[in-house]
Amino acid sequence: MKRLTILFLANLLTATLFAQITPDAEYAINQVNPDHIKADMTYLADDLLQGRQPGTDGFALASKYVETQFMSMGLLPGVDGKSYVQPVTLKKGIVNESESSLVLVSKGDRTALVYDEDFMLQPNLVNVMSDVSGQLVFVGYGVHAPELGYDDYQKIDVKNKIVVFFNQAPESFPSNERAYFSSAPVKYEEAVKRGAIGAITMQLPGDQRTSWEAAVRRSKQGTSRWADATGKAQNTFEQLKVIATFNPANAEKLFASSGKKMDAIINSIKNNKPQSLPLNLEARMTVSSETSSIATSNLIGIIPGSDPVLKNEYVVYVAHVDHFGIGVPVKGDSIYNGAHDNASGTSIALEIARTYKRLKEPTKRSIIIAIVTGEESGLLGSDFFASNPTIPQQSMVANFSMDMPFFFHPVLDIVPYGAQHSSLSKPLGEAAKYLNLGIGPDPFPEQVVFIRSDHYSFIKKGIPSLFIKSGFKTVESDKVDRSVADVAWRRTTYHTPQDDMSQDFDFNGAATHVKVNFLTGYQVANDPQRPTWNKGDFFGGKFGPKLIIEKR
């Protein structure tokens, strides 16, 4: 009798735990097909598409393929009820390196630095010729975070000066807050508020996120921003007349006249001590830019909800289909196929859509599948959609982003970026338990993953969001440390032509990503209450509607 009672209580607990995961949902996820994901990825990452760069025939082929998949599944057109295509105009700039320069001046002595060896410049999308001269002032990380008791600007005036900062944030900050304050736009906005006229940014020496050589290769792709109806590029921080990126290996050149040792400065900043000091050095920077307009697009498909009222609210799944196109050759290959980044995420999003369409009873809320452009240029397509949605912005209740979630191995645990900030943690937890998945914290806070995918565009509009990646739980047969392999992949394969379909993908792992994202969104789409930011949450306070920042 005691054993029966325990069994009854266990079954009751399980039934309560999975109450929102219906037999209909179970049937739908049991039909998830890893071969669908493999097939979609194989086409999208093929050389035929030439790296899917926005504005190219390769991108157009990828977009048309996704559009026809929407049609075949019966998704409703999400743009004015007539089309899946949301036009997006990007304004792109490329630096004329031969007409651009950075000169350091110390006590009348001029030192001309070498482009690509010492520095790179961002193109100016507002003024094709722009120059600035001013005193250099070092402001540590360039962070003003009074809510976290940290301020690099507290002892220095930067008005009409050029700020120099490292592009990270203090290690003492919580992971996602650290990501927020590592964001270049946040740093630029703070510098502009304080009257700076230019900026020089660089990684800390020894930073393992990417190499200088990789950054140089990527810079050849130029810089893009989405443009408004008048053709003006948005989010350009035009008050900063010239923005440079400095090679951290040569950073000593910026600090040579400061009167302080470079090692001591870096040691202090790594110990989370706010930094600021004049560098007793002047910089004269000139950037010449060539600009062009690129016609590209997002794709928006809708699976309508069943509830007369809740069908007017939406759970949004987003994945970017763009990549870098044809670029600087690496190991004899110049096509940046972007198999994992992000043919994988697009393919997973398509299989999520198929899973919703398998339901016998549609969810109460409607589902949006958004396949967006320009992520690699700074989350541009998702930011455009979040800023110019095809449905009322306030009707979007939650967002999920699919972006190279990592499935080079069986997925046994997940890292859900954003879960700790909102009530989305509850349906996520139920989905993970149902699928027997562990949940872990951010293993690489220094990678600032939280701000690096399309979900962040929705967070900035106050919409609770999740970005789920796989963790590194191992099995006995594993011969490598997956966390080490992850970092190695980012350094050797990420954003190179070697990210192609020759890699050893585990498509059953990809199917797991479909299931956990579907099951979490499925519960949200059926819950009478919309997700809310947790009480006192940092991001809820920054971006969320003030009336609903509360914990259920």
> What percent of the chain lies above the pLDDT cut of 70?
95
In this prediction, residue 393 carries a pLDDT of: 96
Mean predicted confidence (pLDDT) in 279-300: 97
Q: pLDDT at residue 27 above 60? A: yes
The domain locations on the chain are 31-74+304-543, 93-291
Residue 546 phi, psi (nearest 5): -65, -25
What is the β-pairing status of strands 198-202 and 162-166? Answer: parallel
Mean predicted confidence (pLDDT) in 297-326: 98
CA distance 208 to 145: 25
The CATH code of domain 93-291 reads 3.50.30.30
Q: pLDDT at residue 124 above 60? A: yes
In this prediction, residue 208 carries a pLDDT of: 61
Long-range contacts of 483-489 (CB under 8 A, 24+ apart): 483/443, 483/444, 485/408, 486/406, 486/444, 487/208, 487/444, 489/408
- Residue 505, classed as helix, strand or coil, is coil
In this prediction, residue 546 carries a pLDDT of: 53
Mean predicted confidence (pLDDT) in 432-453: 91
- State the angle between helix axes of 507-526 and 425-434 in degrees (0 to 180), rounded to the nearest 10: 130
Q: pLDDT at residue 551 above 60? A: no
Give 252's pLDDT tier (boundaries 50, 70, 90).
very high
In this prediction, residue 210 carries a pLDDT of: 76
CA distance 375 to 485: 24
Mean predicted confidence (pLDDT) in 374-385: 97
pLDDT digits (tens, 9 = 90+) for 322-366: 999 999 899 999 999 999 999 999 999 999 999 999 999 999 999
> For 263, what's the count of Cα atoms within 13 Å in the CB-facing half-sphere?
0
In this prediction, residue 6 carries a pLDDT of: 43
Give 5's pLDDT tier (boundaries 50, 70, 90).
very low
The token pair at 134 is 């001013």
In this prediction, residue 218 carries a pLDDT of: 86
Mean predicted confidence (pLDDT) in 206-220: 83
CA distance 149 to 15: 45
In this prediction, residue 328 carries a pLDDT of: 87
CA distance 363 to 438: 26
* pTM (2 d.p.): 0.90
CA distance 281 to 162: 10
Mean pLDDT of the chain: 92
In this prediction, residue 10 carries a pLDDT of: 40
pLDDT digits (tens, 9 = 90+) for 461-485: 999 999 999 998 877 677 778 878 8
Q: pLDDT at residue 549 above 50? A: no
User: Higher model confidence: residue 472 or residue 501?
Assistant: 501
In this prediction, residue 552 carries a pLDDT of: 36
- State the angle between helix axes of 344-357 and 34-44 in degrees (0 to 180), rounded to the nearest 10: 140
Q: Is 127 exposed, middle or buried (0-12, 13-18, 19+ CB in 10 A)?
A: middle
> What percent of the chain lies above the pLDDT cut of 90?
83
- Residue in the block written with tokens 């270049």: 184
User: Higher model confidence: residue 485 or residue 216?
Assistant: 216
CA distance 371 to 33: 20
CATH class of the structural domain 31-74+304-543: alpha beta
Q: pLDDT at residue 53 above 60? A: yes
Give 416's pLDDT tier (boundaries 50, 70, 90).
very high
CA 445 centroid distance within chain: 14
